[in-house]
Amino acid sequence: MSAGALSVGVDVGGTRIKAGLVDDRGRVVHATRHDTPDRTTLPRVVEDAVVGAVTELMARPEAQERGVVGVGIGAAGFVAADRGTVVFAPHLSWRDEPLQEKVSARLGVHVVVDNDANAAAWAEHRFGAARGESHLLLVTLGTGIGGAVLVDGELQRGRHGLAGEFGHMTVVPEGRRCECGNRGCWEQYASGAVLRRDALELLDAGSTFATALLRRCDGRPELIEGEDVTRAAREGDPVAVELVAEVGRWLGVGLANLVAALDPGTVVVGGGASEAGDLLLAPAREALARHLAGRGHRPVPQVRAAALGVGAGLVGAADLARRG
């Protein structure tokens, strides 16, 4: 393998497909971004979008000159222990989808598939906010919530490859209905989609407090997105700040449960909503400290924003492909 060779990382989320050419130091040489096809479409349509993004990158001059050693795909769903089959993706149309086999056959290159949060955790462990941390908990806030655990520097995928689906642990019995079929899942209270939902509820109610948010969607509430709320919060809009803080508090409640069970040294929070920074993480840290079992008698882990931002998933997927 050439030391200068690149790998391709793809992060397939419920809203966006992000892909990039990545070198052996975790640096993104070139990236592309596309909307994820509607979840009601056939699995082949999402597959086509992934293959299209990879093909676009492999045609780049950098890829042609330096070569591509493999493709890593981080999928927002349950990935089987074979690291090739997406068993279930709540926000996509994949059900027992042999993604590795299909994409590899179409591209003619080595392909690895893993859960998107596993990929992001690996990237932060290798190149980002948790470099050198042996016991890492990562939570990603996107359309839903993903999660991953490293113990002694190794990803913990579980007996069937399905570990880390923290977004679907129940935090409110008989609470809001989740797309997974259950009620009261954590991601119904702490995710990027929650920001959109709560903003939309305010706008639909005609709240005079949400006029700044209404301007962001050109007076059409249905166009508001979670990232719009995040940007508004960072710019000081008080309603957006309140919405982000509420998500942060729920984030901290869930983290308290996970920290009690896993005892990590560092918690890294990634995904699009994490771009709110301390507007999200400060209330999360406070809620974690308040709800953690044994508080006052045990270390509280650091809670950090992902250093690689929303690109962590594609960087990690690319590095996992490089490693085989």
CA distance 274 to 70: 29
Q: Is the pLDDT of residue 1 over 70?
A: no
pLDDT for 37: 85
Domains and CATH numbers, the chain: 6-123+311-322 (3.30.420.40), 132-306 (3.30.420.40)
Q: Is the pLDDT of residue 39 over 70?
A: no
SS3 314: helix
Q: 177-219: per-residue pLDDT in tens?
A: 998 899 999 999 999 899 999 999 998 888 888 888 888 888 8
Q: 289-319: per-residue pLDDT in tens?
A: 999 999 989 999 999 999 998 889 999 999 9
pTM value? Answer: 0.87
Quickly state the pLDDT bin for 2 (edges 50, 70, 90).
Answer: low
Q: 119-146: per-residue pLDDT in tens?
A: 999 999 999 999 989 999 999 998 889 8
pLDDT for 220: 86
Sheet holding 95-97, edge to edge: 78-79, 86-88, 95-97
Of 47, 62, 64, the C-alpha closest to 106 is 47
Q: 223-252: per-residue pLDDT in tens?
A: 888 889 999 999 999 999 999 999 999 999
Q: Could you tell me whether strands 145-151 and 154-155 are parallel, antiparallel, or unpaired per DSSP bridges? A: antiparallel
CA distance 2 to 173: 53
Q: 69-113: per-residue pLDDT in tens?
A: 999 999 988 999 888 999 998 778 889 999 999 999 999 999 999
